[in-house]
Amino acid sequence: MNSFERIEAAIALEVPDRVPLGPLLDHWAATYTGISNAELMTDPEKRIRSVLKTASDFKWDLTYIADTANADILRLGVPARLLIPGVELPANQVHQFDEKEVMGVEDYAFLENEGVMPFLERIMNRIYPGMSMESSLMELAALGATIAGHIERVREAGIEPAVGFVLIGPAMEMLSFTRGISNALIDLRRYPNEVKTAANLLRDFFLPMAVEGAKANGVKRVFLGCSRCSPTFVSPKLFEEFILPDLMAYIHGFVDSGLTPWLHMDTDWTRYLHYFRDIPKGRCVVELDGATDIFEAKKILGGVAVIKGDVPASLTAMGTKNEVMAYCKRLIEEVGKGGGFILGSGCSIPANAKTENIQAMTDAVFEWGYY
């Protein structure tokens, strides 16, 4: 099997020739290849060369193209001011977001009455004064062309790109930035109808955009962020009323469009995994970050969705090679049993990860990962 076939088999819950390998790569690419984080985030050519060298050297089947360290993606896709290494931060520091409330309660009505485009322009102007929707759309088109070229180069190297489009996630993810987490949670109780209307409007705008973008570059998988809508922040009652319907509408919308939802589940989702038992079988990726019990996830969602993860950042940064090998062996033997598993990192490989520990993941797959 080649890398594409191996990944597709894992997603379809078939048994590939071996466990696929695909950590989440962003800032560690700069660490490994000796460029600065400033260069990684702002120089597209240096970024893709760094990604290609890293993924090739460690024989990965799948890689992100450092999407989560792409200044253009983050600035256009996350409604909070991006602090960029080499600009607001030291050149080798990882990026940060300066989160401030940029949306008032009255903006729910503005969104409903004026539509998504004027709403987004209003919000982005509060974050980046002078930014227009016209200029943002032009930047987005140019970004899409650059990403398509990078995807082609990754595939030419025999490596499968992880996703074809990146979305911040369901409405709660966006509102947690624009309103602030505390206000967004209060809104669920004080302004439930406004939140539901906003969720429907935002989804009707972003879902078709993601479908078009992923199909245009040929990677039919869409990253959907699922962090601030998790059990860490939202009670079961509020999750069932507000988050689950929105999330399921995205999942089914992507599947119905011939795409694979890539659920990037940061924080501990263990208590809510049962909600996903009825998602379309063999059509979704559940990517875990080390906080969720991945072994429990296998029990609950094995046979429903491919599980990806979850070598923790603490282990790759602070552990020994033998410790990483031992944990990978357990993942391969338990979560990888019967297929439906992609070995990866728990969220991003940390910028201070040890090279020998990333190599240990590769060594583990080639020693124990063959079926």
Least confident of 15-29, 129-143, 310-324: 129-143
**Cα–Cα distance, 281 to 301 (Å, whole number):** 10
- Mean pLDDT across 91-119: 97
Which tokens sit at 124? Answer: 């982005």
Over residues 250-265, mean pLDDT: 99
Q: What is the pLDDT of residue 130?
A: 86
The pLDDT of residue 107 is above 90: yes
CB neighbours of 357 closer than 8 A, spacing ≥ 6?
315, 316, 317, 319, 320, 321, 324
Question: From CA 368, how far away is CA 371, in angstroms rounded?
Answer: 8
Please state, as a whole number, how many other Cβ atoms lie within 10 Å of the Cβ of residue 212: 12
Closest by CA position to 350, among listed 23, 18, 3 = 23
Is residue 162 within 8 Å of residue 64, measured between CB atoms? Answer: yes
pLDDT value of position 136 = 87
CB 73 within 8 A of CB 164: no
Q: What's the pLDDT at 181?
A: 95
Containing 21, the helix (H) or strand (E) segment is none
Calpha distance 272→163 (Å, rounded): 24
Span 235-251, average pLDDT: 98
- Percent of the chain residues past pLDDT 90, beyond the cut: 97
Alpha-carbon Rg for the chain, nearest whole angstrom, is 20
Short-list 33, 94, 25, CA closest to 361:
25
Query: What is the full DSSP assignment across 344-367?
Result: EESSBPPTT--HHHHHHHHHHHHH
Specify whether the CB–CB gap between 313 and 25 falls below 8 A: no
What would the DSSP string read from start to end of 196-219? HHHHHHHHHHHHHHHHHHHHHHT-
Give the rounded distance of the alpha carbon of 163 from its chain centre. Answer: 8
Q: What is the distance between the alpha carbons of residues 297 and 318, in angstroms, rounded to a whole number?
A: 25
Confidence grade of residue 134 (pLDDT, cut at 50, 70, 90)? confident
Residue 14: band (very low, low, confident or very high) from pLDDT cuts 50, 70, 90: very high
Cβ within 8 Å of residue 85, ≥6 positions away = 36, 37, 38, 41, 91, 92, 93, 94, 95
Phi/psi at 288 (5° precision): -110, 150
Give the pLDDT confidence score for residue 137 in this predicted structure: 84
CA 48 to centroid of chain Cα atoms: 18
What's the CA gap between 264 and 277, in Å, rounded? Answer: 16
Give the pLDDT mean for 258-269. Answer: 98
How far, in Å, CA of 359 to CA of 312, rounded?
A: 15
Tell me the pLDDT of the chain averaged across its residues.
97
> Span 90-108, mean pLDDT?
97
pLDDT at 283: 98
**For the chain, percent of residues with pLDDT exceeding 70:** 100
Q: How confident is the model at residue 132, as a pLDDT?
A: 83
Which band of pLDDT confidence, cut at 50, 70 and 90, is reported for residue 16? very high
Q: Report residue 133's pLDDT band, with 50, 70 and 90 as the boundaries.
A: confident
DSSP assignments along 101-166, one per residue: ----THHHHHHHHH-HHHHHHHHHHHHSTT--HHHHHHHHHHHHHHHHHHHHHHHHTT-EES-SEE
pTM, full prediction = 0.96
Q: With a cut of 90, say whether residue 140 has pLDDT above it.
A: no
Q: Average pLDDT of 40-59?
A: 98
Question: What is the Cα 170 distance to its own chain's centre?
Answer: 12
